[in-house]
Structure 1
């Protein structure tokens, strides 16, 4: 196991029959639904930017909460520098 990894109970990390993780399945399902909803309407900033914008704040919130708002531990878990984490937290109004 990687040093930054968090060991989850077995039932939470099991993959579906396709071998994909629950997170992978969730993202796929949500992006697929979004694409069906918008049809041929272009995404102004691009789909990649939209997804990153929507995912980053809840990711940061959950990791910070899991690590009791300890920025050093959260940064290690995320695999980013603590200064980068602080910048992202400030950008999302999470400081």
Structure 2
């Protein structure tokens, strides 16, 4: 529900125009960064556990962390 509300607001803000090209990648990035960050926080920075919880390969998660410049803090809750 909240994602749909966010997208509805985003489209409404465009007025009569369409969003600029690249919408799919922008929206995935907006969702992916907090999802990965919160997953890492929930697993106290344990990338193997976070990858398992997300259903990703550990190396895929590590690449996404690098690509999005997500800070990983280990051992804190």
Q: TM-score range by the shorter chain?
A: 0.7 to 0.9
- The offset of 1:92, in angstroms, is 1.0
Structure 2 partner of 1:88: 64
Q: TM-score, normalised by structure 2?
A: 0.83
Displacement over 4 Å in runs of 4+: none
For the aligned residues, what is the CA RMSD? Answer: 1.3
Q: Does 2:42 align with 1:53? A: no
Indicate the structure (1 or 2) with the bigger Cα radius of gyration.
Answer: 1
Q: Which residue of 2 aligns with 1:31?
A: 7
Deviations 1:15-66 (A, max 9, x none): xxxxxxxxxx100111001100112333333322221011111111000000
Match of 2:19 in 1: 43
The higher relative CO (CA closer than 8 Å, separation ≥ 6) is in 2
* 16, 23, 47: which one aligns with 1:71: 47
